[in-house]
Amino acid sequence: MQKPVIIDCDPGHDDALALLLAGADRSLNVLGVTVIAGNQTLDKTTANTLKILEKANLSWPVYAGYAEPLLRKPVTAPEVHGETGLDGPELPEPVRSPEPQHAVEFLIEAVQTSSEPVTLIPTGPLTNVAAALLGAPSICDNIDKIVFMGGAAVGGNWSPAAEFNILVDPDAAHVVMQSSVEKTMIGLDVTEKALIYDSDIETIRELDNPVAITAAELLDFFAQYHRKKGLPGSPLHDPLAVAAVLKPDIVTAKRLPVKIERFGEYCLGRTVVDWYRDQYEDNNTQVALDMDRLQFMDMLLAALRSYG
Ligand code: BDR
Ligand code: CA
């Protein structure tokens, strides 16, 4: 039986790869894609979602959500993703439009009416998901889990202490982390191990189908930022969240309490992981701490090959 999922994203190069990975797997029933501002403004992330779905011939409905975090000013990441949010390949303007319904209304309705508990896969700031949980707390009962890309047990990438998705909307992250829903945190601890190297990108290009070639061009652009940062490859943050839904044992995780720093001077947006209270406190977050890079690359290659 197919697993009902909703992907909430801000494409973004790695978000785009996450959508392609999900689109290649028949075990998922993607009820819809909700879009959030993050890597770029909402108009751009929405257009990018439609562009990549059209490139891959995926007809999932797309719903635009919040253009700003719950309480703070928006932050974007053009230095990583370019002015369009998806710089690199030539992608035609989308033919489709987003659905008229707001992403948060869709999230609530889709979860309420699903005959099976729904898995949410957020790969951007958590604003839409938090708004849905605040708007209709009872949906928690029909969410199987939230497998989100964000945070880090150790370190950060947008500040020394915080990862981008959480730093952009720490209040939303707080709402999600405080909720009763079961969660898996796919943070920098594992996504920075999910490195894709230039040689992997060449292997993808050699698959020689239009979707794989676009993926390789996206990865070429994404690599420029990470090369400047001195990394040997690019971290495939968001695809790893999808991979962890498709194949949970691709990550090794530990159940640990996670709180969000919302008021810190230096540590705003930090996911504060309590390593010492794992067995004392009631908590519902699995923190991914290790991952299988080779298996992950195999999954990605197989997915991109399937578009041929
Ligand atoms: C996260 O931030 C975004 O730039 C990426 O798309 C990913 O979701 C990594 O910190
Ligand atoms: Ca993202």
Q: Residue with the nearest Cα to atom 2 of ligand 1?
A: 164
| Tokens 């070429």 -> residue | 220
Q: What is the pLDDT of residues 211-221, one digit of tens each?
A: 999 999 999 99
Q: How far is the CA of 153 from the centre of ligand 2 (A)?
A: 18
pLDDT in the model for residue 279: 62
Q: What is the pLDDT of residues 127-138, one digit of tens each?
A: 999 999 999 999
Residues present in the chain in total: 308
Both structure tokens of 1: 């039986």
pLDDT over threshold 80, residue 278: no
Q: Which residues are catalytic?
A: 237
Q: How many domains does the chain have?
A: 1
Domain extent at residue 111: 3-306
Q: How far is the CA of 52 from the centre of ligand 2 (A)?
A: 14
Gap between the Cα atoms of 12 and 40, Å rounded: 8
Which residues' Cβ are closer than 6 Å to ligand 1? 12, 14-15, 39, 77, 80, 123-124, 149, 157, 163-165, 237-238
Phi, psi of 228 (to 5 degrees): -60, -30
Q: What's the pTM?
A: 0.98
Gap between the Cα atoms of 291 and 11, Å rounded: 23
Question: Domain with 238 in it: what CATH number?
Answer: 3.90.245.10
First to last CA, the chain: 25
Over residues 276-291, the mean pLDDT reads 82
Over residues 17-44, the mean pLDDT reads 98
pLDDT over threshold 90, residue 61: yes
Over residues 105-114, the mean pLDDT reads 98
